[in-house]
Amino acid sequence: MIVVVGLSHRTAPVDVREKLAAGADALPAVLARLAARSELAEVLFLSTCNRVEVFAIAPPASGDEGVDAALRAIREELARHGGARSGDDLAAYLYDKRGDSAVEHVFRVAASLDSMVLGEPQILGQVKEAYEAAVAAGALKGTLGRCVTRAFAVAKRVRTETAIGSGTVSISSVAVDLAGRIFGGLSDHAVLLLGAGEMAEAAARSLGQGARALRICNRSFDRAAALARDLNAAAVPWDGLDSELVQADVVVTSTASKTCVVTREMVRRAMKLRKGRTLFFIDIAVPRNVEAAVHGIDNVYVFNVDDLEQEVARGMQARQAERGAADAIVAEELARFLAWTRGLEVQPTVVAMRAKARAVFLSELERSLAGRLKHLAEGDRSALKQMVESAVGKLLHAPTTRLKERAADGEDARELAAAMRFLFDLQELGGASAQLEPVAAEAEDERLPN
């Protein structure tokens, strides 16, 4: 059974999440400890800024006790990794899921339906990196790996069949979007960061990526210089603001000033020297850094926090409207995956039934070939063996098909499989199931779209 244990932005503050996070350097050791636990058959460790989760499988045929043991093992390893004295220290923050709800959770995480920002694309790449790390560590072997790869396909369907990723949903992305609309791209334009607040820095990082130049003007020149080094930009002194307004095309303002630092008169003077070139202000300071009257100057555009948040709200509304369609895709894919896993549950019985029937028929044939039919030529012997193989297949076709159909429909397949094992005195071998699982996965690949 697939299980999930973890915490996220919904259940734990950042100071707890950061203790459990694992970067590329720590991830191999964490995976090794989890994979070494006998309570876990397969495991994947997912670590992002907003969530830390372990996807795992309890050993086959371990029952409810095995599932409970798997959940305890994961909690113990998370506590050890985070430096907690025991799993109880994290109990208030951790959630766990098992079975169908665990699979659904994996699908929803990959499709960005459980993210802080609905529809954000980064989480899919992070899940793929976690999958690749688990494969490299030998921690994924079968069903869990299949579950995660199906989650990739679910995410792709959600992304392509809905508009869940449409609209701008962050201040910085809105700023980039608005600037792009006004200038038709930023490759030939310069960005000025006025102040060095976190919000302004985030917007400047986004805007500066495609801009011709990025310059930073701050009351503390040392702070401007430090940030400029980080952003591969140029620092300019505060008293050079007037001349910077002449050169810049986009100005991001976020100072702690209680009064406006950009006045209508300053911009009016700059626009005369700019000879009418458009000037775009993104004022994300509270109180505002740019006088409201600046927006009235020809070819000057000013957007403040309220303007940007309205754009963000519109983007989120557009995404929320697509949630129902995305949920329907997850439900459809979940049903298909669960049908496949239920088929795996009855597969050992099918294998054992076919093996026993084949062995009985071939044994009787060999006895006859050694006695009354020993005069038969090799060609005739081969024909009889082929007839036996064909008879076994035809005889068991109906019960095999019906058992698998019951499993796919979620009906009483387990009871039917148990009855078959009892009636035919079947002995299932773990190896038979394990050997057949890759074949089932290949068949599933043919049936399920990528």
Q: Which of the residues 49, 147, 217, 260 is marked catalytic?
A: 49
Angle at 182 between CA 177 and CA 183, to 5 degrees: 100
To the nearest 10 degrees (0 to 180), the angle between helices 100-110 and 323-370 is 130
Catalytic, 217? Answer no
For the annotated catalytic residues, the residue numbers are 49
